């Protein structure tokens, strides 16, 4: 493939006098996981929203490689096209699973919803596929009829992942997917994400403040500070040999066991 | 042999007779006159006019008589009557600054040009039942003659405006005609003009509760009563043949301007923001509640998160009409036995776990 | 065709002179007709309209009444039913309203009516080309219970995004083994719009499909009109492996013996004995050969 899956150039977003995202550019290739790392206020979540079609930038372009029509400018698409893309080609994993799930319906319905939205009309098959995905995210398929209200944080997050992956998207946006979970739960979840991104395969942009998440999941990473991308490159290189002073600060502040 | 129930029509006709009797009450007691209601139950008349959207105290009084004092039923009568009236045109915007004031207060300044005019109010009475009123007495002693305000009294808001402290409301580009909710349905998101119309016609009890909720921490704007005024304003209409506005009469209105804590942003200096309420007759509670809710509903345009019910347009505006609410709640009295039958069958089957029978 | 059967009421003989024919002024009728035309042009789509205050309360049929009032003419023959019967109090009230304001001929016979206004049932007698049936609708938005925000529901209709409705049906099957909606069962009209058929029992849904008559739906309080033109596909939602079934109990009407019609359950005595009677009183009476 000669063109990237996602390409952003000059992406800028301002709120009044404050510039939240300042001339950020990146390219993402199929099957590649990129981490966007920064502290709070760095603009990383705003950037994620701009890249995923949720927030129109004030300047710059975001282009996505559609399945049949080549590279397209996201913000030139109609609302219908954008929503369809969000349901088929993309996934979005929220930091808080409650935002990405329907808490009032069963786990099975949560996972099956995208299939039904795309026209699946066989209850047995929808249910079967939902159960398969529960297994793939290491959940007990017998809990398929339970409401997520009874699930732990880690389980809700797994459910959210399954709900997103059921249509085999090519690109998943993740906003701090493991924050707020217990450390051991985080570790398991990261393992799951790692194996899913490798096996499916899946391209992903993962926003995180945690360098360990970047190290474990991402092929490449970008460091953000005050809205600018100060450094980017292969994850191992950036973490082992940081060039920019801010990156050096980040890396050195990570507590060593 | 079962004989099917019949006689629905006869039952209805009979119910009319019973209703007439109930309305009249004890025939030994003198019948209420429409003028008595108009004159002595003025606040009930005012509410019916406001929510009925017709300024006609005699009609409102008649409606109250026919409705046996039930405000919502009277409002219904007035609205249904209004729907049959021909539309002659739209009057010019009311100039409340030239109101002939009967009452005017401000909580934001101790004194202000035009003064604080207490007027006729329950506010500083003690709520002790006055049994002397039970007797049919002569007219009470006339009050000390209130100084008639002949000069237009500027609103407090205009004073703050002079310093640039309060937000300005510039008309939208092109000064478009406001929508008319009595002609076309409300759509969401609704522009402020449509929201204000909806609130003006809205049920006083509902708005009162919503306004109250904004004071109890379900919203973040701390209100001050900038100005409340009650009195008579002129109604002017531009007659086509003349081409200039002509006064066609006076109506009494109550206007409330609420001033709220500023909304500043990094690009705009802090200012005071506003809520507005207007009602026919002497309706302070309504005008004040309306102003609180108006301000709450502006959350979106002022960059505030719409987290509480009073800030949610769809919630407030869809449930504010007393006739819609009363009609739908009370429609549950209508026969629903067919749907109930269907539900009954469904529940029975689910409990039996029987396989479903196909239709013939 | 037999002469229409008038309902005796001397007061309603002549039209009320103070109001326009059918109560509404002509401009309002035109506004409503425009909404109806738009609705017919887009089957199943809810057209907003400037619903007027009527002399009956919101929630009691004002939408249906406005649609009927906009269409009715002096040569129409009107039938009004509620729960399938002509004699229920609400049907009587509405029929009286039209008698007072139009003086048109009224009938209890489905096959004689040109215009039928109904609440909660479709007549058992199949409708014919040239007939119009007007449904009274309390909640026009089929998505309302799932998505109370109108703006979002409108977007879902515009984009044809009805996954949420199927989620609800899926949940029903997961929980109860069957779809639990007994009335107001959602349908797809002309393969495009999701529509609420009004609270008719799901037993009646098949009658809407490819009907030769024009079907109009009026929601006064919610201010929407929608339509199913003649010969239009109306398909009740279901799953391939859980198809739609218009269930019927295996009882018969105690009066006429029909095993095909929707039956009302009546508690006949204080020991709880039950009778089943046709909900559609006209259908039952005609089967018995009895005339009112």
All domains of chain A in start order, with CATH = 1-89+172-257 (3.40.50.300), 102-168 (no CATH)
Q: Compare all CA atoms of chain B with the CA of C87 and give the residue at the minimum distance.
A: B8
What pLDDT sits at residue C74? 94
Phi, psi values for residue A206, rounded to 5° = -115, 120
pLDDT on residue B221: 62
Angstrom distance (rounded) from CA B178 to CA B191 = 9
Mean pLDDT on A151-162: 94
Strands A228-234 and C234-236: unpaired
CB contact under 8 A, C241 and A79: no
Q: Rounded to whole angstroms, how far apart are CA atoms A71 and A5?
A: 8
Q: Which whole number is the average pLDDT over C222-251?
A: 93
Lowest mean pLDDT among A20-34, B146-160, B240-254: B146-160
| C-beta separation of A132 from A118 below 8 A | no
Q: What is the pLDDT of residue C18?
A: 76
A243 to each of A23, A27, A35, A148, A217, how far by Cα in Å?
Answer: 20, 21, 17, 44, 21
Nearest beta carbon to residue B184 from set C50, C206, C248: C50
CB contact under 8 A, C89 and B338: no
Inter-chain Cβ pairs, chain B and chain C, closer than 8 A = 161
B240-271 per-residue burial string, b: 16 or more CB within 10 A, e: under 16: eeeeeeeeeeebbbbbbbbbbebbeeeeeeee
Percent of chain B with pLDDT over 70: 89
Q: Is B24 on the interface with C (CB under 8 A)?
A: no
Chain B environment of C93 (Cβ under 8 Å): 12
Confidence of residue B138 (pLDDT cuts 50, 70, 90): low
Neighbours of chain C (3+ CB pairs under 8 A): A, B
> In what helix (H) or strand (E) does residue A2 lie, and over which residues does it extend?
none
Phi, psi at A228, each rounded to 5°? -105, 150
Mean pLDDT of B161-165: 79
Q: Comparing C-alpha atoms, which of B158, B165, B163 is closest to residue B229?
A: B158
| Nearest Cα residue to B188 out of C8, C29, C223 | C223
Partner residue opposite C159 with nearest CB, options A83, A118, A145: A83
Task: Look at the block and give the residue holding tokens 């049919």.
Answer: B136
A78 token code pair: 């109609």
Partners of C11 in beta bridges: none
pLDDT in tens, C139-178: 999 998 888 888 899 999 999 999 899 999 999 999 888 8
The predicted pLDDT at position B219 comes to 58
Beta bridge partners of B121: none
Do B238 and B231 meet the contact criterion of CB atoms below 8 Å apart?
A: no
Report pLDDT for B99: 93
Closest among A137, A176, A130 to A158, alpha carbons compared: A137
Task: Give the pLDDT score at C145.
Answer: 83
Contacts of C96 in chain B (CB under 8 A): 9, 12
Q: At what angle do helices A153-165 and A183-199 cross, to 10 degrees?
A: 10
CB spacing of C166 vs A145 below 8 angstroms: no
The mean pLDDT value of chain B amounts to 87
What is the arithmetic mean of pLDDT over B17-37?
Answer: 95
Mean of pLDDT values over A209-238 = 93
d(CA B129, CA B197) in angstroms, rounded, equals 36
Q: Are B266 and B294 in contact (CB under 8 A)?
A: no
- Higher-pLDDT residue of C146 and C3 is C146
Confidence of residue A201 (pLDDT cuts 50, 70, 90): confident
The arithmetic mean of pLDDT across residues B267-271, rounded, is: 72
Quick check: B358 pLDDT over 60? no
Residue B98 corresponds to which tokens in the numbers above?
Answer: 């030239």
Our CA-based measurement puts residue C152 at a distance from the nearest CA of chain A, in whole angstroms, of 13
Strand extents, DSSP E, B84-239: 100-105, 223-238
Distances in Å between the Cα of C235 and the Cα atoms of A57, A79, C139, C245 are 43, 28, 19, 12
| Neighbour tally for C80: CB within 10 Å | 31
* A58 in reach of chain B (CB within 8 A): no
Q: Does the pLDDT value for residue C287 go beyond 90?
A: yes
Question: Model confidence over B190-208: pLDDT tens digits?
Answer: 999 999 999 999 999 999 9
Closest CA to C1 of C94, C130, C121, C92: C130
A–C CB contacts, 8 A cutoff, strictly below: 55
Q: Please report, for chain A, how many H helices and E strands are present, in that order.
A: 10, 10
- Which of B59-68, C11-20, C149-158, C190-199 bottoms out in mean pLDDT, i.e. has the lowest? C11-20
Does B69 or C13 have the greater pLDDT score?
B69
Tell me the shortest Cα–Cα distance from A18 to chain B, in angstroms. 8
The H or E element that residue A64 is part of is strand A59-66
Query: Before B189, cis peptide (omega within 30)?
Result: yes
Contact C174 A116 (CB under 8 A): no
* Sheet strand arrangement including A220-225: A90-93, A171-175, A203-208, A33-37, A220-225, A228-234
* E strand or H helix that includes residue B204: helix B204-215
pLDDT at res. B218: 59
A43 alpha-carbon distance from chain centroid: 15
Bridge-based pairing of strands A70-73 and A59-66 is antiparallel
Q: What is the pLDDT of residue A242?
A: 93
3-state helix, strand, coil in chain A (%, to 5): 40, 25, 30
pLDDT greater than 70 at residue B145: no
For residue B357, is pLDDT > 80?
no
Weakest-pLDDT range from A122-126, B110-114, C135-139, C175-179: B110-114
Please report the pLDDT score of residue B117 as a whole number.
87
Which residues of C belong to the active site? 44, 253, 256, 278, 284
Q: Is C113 exposed, middle or buried (0-12, 13-18, 19+ CB in 10 A)?
A: buried
* pLDDT score of C4 more than 80: no
Could you tell me which residue, B161 or B267, shows the higher pLDDT?
B161
- For chain A, give the longest Cα–Cα distance: 57
Answer whether the bond into residue A163 is a cis peptide, omega within 30°.
no
Position B360 pLDDT exceeds 80: no
Please, are residues A33 and A7 in contact by the beta-carbon 8 Å criterion?
no
Task: Quickly state the pLDDT bin for B50 (edges 50, 70, 90).
Answer: very high
- On the question of pLDDT at B268 being above 70, the answer is no
Provide the pLDDT for residue B74. Answer: 98
Distance from CA of A218 to the nearest CA of C (A): 33
Window 320-349 of B: residues touching C by CB (8 A cutoff) are 323-324, 326-331, 334-339, 341-346, 349
A17 CB neighbours in chain B (<8 A) are 266-267
A225: distance to nearest CA of chain B, Å? 21
Predicted confidence at residue A1, as pLDDT, reads: 55
C97, pLDDT greater than 80: yes
Which pLDDT belongs to residue C6? 43
| Residue A201 or C280, more confident | C280
H helix and E strand count, chain C: 7, 12
Mean pLDDT over residues C118-129, rounded? Answer: 97
Q: Which residues pair with B1 in a beta bridge?
A: none
B77-105 pLDDT, tens digit per residue, is 999 999 888 888 889 999 998 999 999 99
Among all residues of chain B, which has the CA nearest to that of C55? Answer: B80
Report the distance separating Cα C48 and Cα B183, nearest Å: 11
Residue B237 and residue B220: Cα distance in Å, rounded?
40
Length of chain A: 257
Average pLDDT over residues A99-108: 92
* Contact call for residues C62 and B83 (beta carbons, < 8 A): no
Is 0.90 exceeded by the ipTM? no
Q: Cα separation of A134 and A131, whole Å?
A: 5
Q: Is A17 on the interface with B (CB under 8 A)?
A: yes
Q: What Rg do the C-alpha atoms of chain A give, in angstroms? A: 18
Which residues from A are below 8 Å from C172, CB to CB? none
Using the predicted structure, report yes or no on whether residue A200 has a pLDDT greater than 90.
Answer: no
Q: At what angle do helices B204-215 and B42-52 cross, to 10 degrees?
A: 90
Distance from CA of A20 to the nearest CA of B (A): 14
Encode C274-285: b = buried (16+ Cβ within 10 Å), e = exposed. ebbbbbbbbbbb
Instruction: Name which residue leads in pLDDT, B34 or B271.
Output: B34
The answer to whether the Cβ–Cβ distance between A109 and C171 falls below 8 Å is yes
Closest alpha carbon within chain A to B268: A16
How many other β-carbons are positioned within 10 Å of the β-carbon of residue C172? 15
pLDDT top residue among A93 and B357: A93
**Subunits in contact with chain A (3 or more CB pairs closer than 8 Å):** B, C
Q: What is the pLDDT of residue B148?
A: 55
> What percent of chain B has pLDDT above 90?
52
Q: Minimum mean pLDDT among A38-47, A157-166, A177-186: which range?
A: A177-186
DSSP classification of residue B251: E
* Six token digits for residue B113: 């040009």
Burial class (CB in 10 A: 0-12, 13-18, 19+), B124: exposed
Lowest mean pLDDT among A83-87, B286-290, C129-133: A83-87
**Is pLDDT above 50 for B132?**
yes
C89/B357 touch (CB, cutoff 8 Å), yes or no: no
């Amino acid at each position: 493939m000669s063109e990237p899956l996602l390409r952003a150039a000059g992406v800028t977003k301002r709120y009044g006098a404050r510039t939240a995202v300042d001339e950020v550019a990146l390219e993402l290739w199929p099957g590649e996981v990129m981490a966007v790392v920064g502290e709070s206020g760095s603009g990383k979540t705003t950037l994620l929203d701009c890249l995923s079609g949720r927030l129109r930038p004030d300047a710059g372009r975001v282009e996505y490689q559609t399945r049949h029509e080549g590279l397209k400018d996201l913000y030139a698409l109609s609302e219908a096209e954008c929503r369809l893309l969000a349901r088929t080609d993309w996934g979005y994993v929220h930091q808080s699973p409650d935002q990405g799930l329907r808490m009032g319906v069963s786990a099975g319905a949560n996972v099956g919803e995208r299939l039904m939205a795309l026209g699946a009309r066989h209850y047995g098959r929808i249910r079967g596929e939902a159960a398969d995905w529960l297994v793939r995210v290491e959940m007990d398929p017998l809990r398929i009829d339970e409401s997520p209200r009874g699930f732990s944080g880690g389980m809700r997050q797994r459910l959210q992942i399954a709900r997103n992956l059921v249509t085999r998207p090519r690109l998943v946006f993740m906003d701090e997917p493991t924050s707020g979970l217990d450390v051991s739960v985080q570790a398991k979840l990261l393992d799951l994400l790692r194996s899913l991104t490798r096996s499916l395969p899946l391209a992903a942009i993962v926003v995180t403040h945690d360098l360990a998440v970047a190290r474990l999941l991402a092929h490449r990473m970008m460091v953000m500070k005050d809205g600018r991308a100060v450094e980017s490159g292969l994850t191992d290189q950036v973490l082992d040999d940081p060039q920019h002073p801010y990156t050096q600060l980040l890396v050195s502040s990570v507590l060593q066991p | 042999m079962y004989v099917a129930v019949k006689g629905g029509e006869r039952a209805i006709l009979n119910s009319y007779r019973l209703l007439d009797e109930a309305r009249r009450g004890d025939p030994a007691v003198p019948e209420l006159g429409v003028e008595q209601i108009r004159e002595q139950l003025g606040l009930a008349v005012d509410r019916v006019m406001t929510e009925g959207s017709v300024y006609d105290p005699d009609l409102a009084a008649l409606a109250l008589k026919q409705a046996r004092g039930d405000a919502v039923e009277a409002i219904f009568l007035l609205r249904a009557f209004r729907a049959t009236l021909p539309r002659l045109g739209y009057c010019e915007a009311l100039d409340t600054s030239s109101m002939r004031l009967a009452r005017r207060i401000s909580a934001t300044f101790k004194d202000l040009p035009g003064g604080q005019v207490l007027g006729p109010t329950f506010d500083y009475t003690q709520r002790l039942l006055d049994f002397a009123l039970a007797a049919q007495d002569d007219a009470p002693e006339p009050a000390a003659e209130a100084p008639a305000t002949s000069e237009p009294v500027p609103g407090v808001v205009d004073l703050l405006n002079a310093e640039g402290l309060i937000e300005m409301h510039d008309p939208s580009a092109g000064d478009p005609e406001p929508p008319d909710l009595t002609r076309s349905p409300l759509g969401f998101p609704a522009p402020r003009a449509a929201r204000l119309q909806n609130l003006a016609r809205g049920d006083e009890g509902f708005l009162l509760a919503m306004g109250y909720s904004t004071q109890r921490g379900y919203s973040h704007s701390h209100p001050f009563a900038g100005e409340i005024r009650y009195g008579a304003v002129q109604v002017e209409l531009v007659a086509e043949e003349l081409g200039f506005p002509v006064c066609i009469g006076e109506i009494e209105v109550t206007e409330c301007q609420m001033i709220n804590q500023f909304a500043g942003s990094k690009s705009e200096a802090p200012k005071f923001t506003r809520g507005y309420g207007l009602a026919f007759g002497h309706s302070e509670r309504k005008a004040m509640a309306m102003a609180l809710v108006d301000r709450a509903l502006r959350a979106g345009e002022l960059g505030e998160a719409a987290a509480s019910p009073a800030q949610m347009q769809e919630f407030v505006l869809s449930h504010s009409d007393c006739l819609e609410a009363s009609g739908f709640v009370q429609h549950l009295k209508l026969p629903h036995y067919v749907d109930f039958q269907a539900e009954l069958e469904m529940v029975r089957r689910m409990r039996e776990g029987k396989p479903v029978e196909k239709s013939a | 065709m037999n002469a229409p059967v008038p309902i005796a009421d001397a007061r309603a003989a002549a039209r009320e002179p103070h109001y326009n024919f059918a109560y509404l002024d002509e401009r309002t009728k035109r506004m409503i007709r425009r909404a109806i035309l738009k609705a017919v042009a887009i089957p199943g789509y809810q057209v907003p309209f400037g619903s007027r205050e009527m002399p009956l309360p919101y929630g009691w049929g004002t939408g249906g009444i406005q649609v009927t009032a906009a269409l009715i003419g002096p040569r129409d023959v009107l039938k009004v039913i509620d729960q399938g019967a002509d004699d229920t109090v609400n049907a009587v009230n509405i029929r009286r309203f039209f008698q007072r304001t139009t003086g048109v001929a009224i009938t209890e016979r489905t096959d004689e009516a040109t215009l039928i206004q109904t609440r909660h049932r479709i007549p058992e007698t199949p409708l014919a080309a040239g007939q119009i049936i007007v449904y009274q609708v309390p909640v026009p938005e089929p998505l309302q219970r799932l998505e109370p925000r109108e703006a979002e529901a409108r977007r879902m209709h515009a984009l044809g995004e009805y996954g949420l409705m199927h989620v609800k049906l899926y949940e029903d099957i997961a929980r109860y083994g069957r779809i639990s909606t007994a009335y107001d069962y959602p349908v797809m009209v002309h393969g495009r719009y999701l529509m609420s058929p009004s609270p008719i029992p799901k037993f009646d849904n098949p009658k809407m499909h490819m009907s030769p008559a024009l079907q109009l739906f009026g929601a006064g309080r919610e201010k929407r009109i929608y339509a199913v033109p003649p010969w239009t596909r109306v398909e009740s939602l279901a799953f391939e492996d859980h198809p739609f079934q218009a269930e019927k109990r295996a009882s018969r009407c105690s009066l006429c013996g029909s095993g095909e019609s929707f039956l009302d359950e009546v508690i006949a005595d204080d020991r709880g004995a039950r009778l089943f009677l046709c909900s559609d009183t006209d259908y039952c009476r005609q089967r018995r050969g009895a005339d009112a």
